[in-house]
Amino acid sequence: MGGVSIPASSIEVPSRVRALARGAALTPVWRNSLGGLTFRTDDGRYIKWGPHDAEANMRDEAERMRWARRWLPVPDVLEQGQDAEHEWLVTAALPASSAVDPRWAAKPEVAVRAVGRGLRALHDALPVAECPWGWSTAERIANAAERGTLVPVELHAEPPIDSLVVCHGDACLPNTLLDDDGEPAGFVDLAALGVADRWADIAVASMSTLWNYGPGWEDTLIEAYGVEPDRERLEYYRRLWNES
């Protein structure tokens, strides 16, 4: 799923976002590779807005957030909608900040370990038997094909399942929120949440340490999760992520 960056404070605010803000002051927080924007309001909300995304839409995200909220600290969905060109999602803010917030830049080990523990807590908390969505290799390959992306044939055969869990689906560091003590306190961006081998999440979460904190932290995250690195599964699921 596309990368994110922090937009300039002078960015033009879409009219839909202004309407959803209902007079609240807006601070831009994220811009993704598709041009989607996320804003924080001064009355405790986040407004996510952007073009339709065939890979991960906000309707699916809202549905999964409402479901996961029964077991996990997930933002409350306040509004969700779409028009012909764009979609939007409004959620209540949690008392926490992203694991890649500037406040954690000087404490990468704290953040990386918290994300590892948080991912394990997510896998332990969400009930596989009650989850109505899948994120299996076959489903991901089919979804990629619908978007015109052909996954290399050697990736169609996945390693034997190690442990079936409800995966986050986009377990990159920015999507775990930490409290003031550096402990995992919430999860966001759940549009792809579904049942799969836990290594599908672990591979991406550990790989994302390279993007956000540089080399040297991949195994730290896996250790904090509570398992030994499985190099074969890590390589496979990272390739699947990059190719789909």
The residues annotated as belonging to the active site are 170
Q: Which pair of structure tokens corresponds to residue 116?
A: 């590892």
The rounded distance, in Å, linking the Cα atoms of 96 and 147 is 34
| DSSP per-residue codes, the chain | ---EEPPPTTPPPPHHHHHHHTT--EEEEEEETTS-EEEEETTSEEEEEEE--SSS-HHHHHHHHHHHTTTS--PPEEEEEE-SSEEEEEEEPPS-EETTSGGGTT-HHHHHHHHHHHHHHHHHHS-GGG---B--HHHHHHHHHHTT-PPPGGGSSPPPPS-EEEE-S---GGGEEE-TTS-EEEE---TT-EEEEHHHHHHHHHHHHHHHH-TT-HHHHHHHHTS---HHHHHHHHHHHHH-
Kind of pairing between the strands at 45-51 and 26-32: unpaired
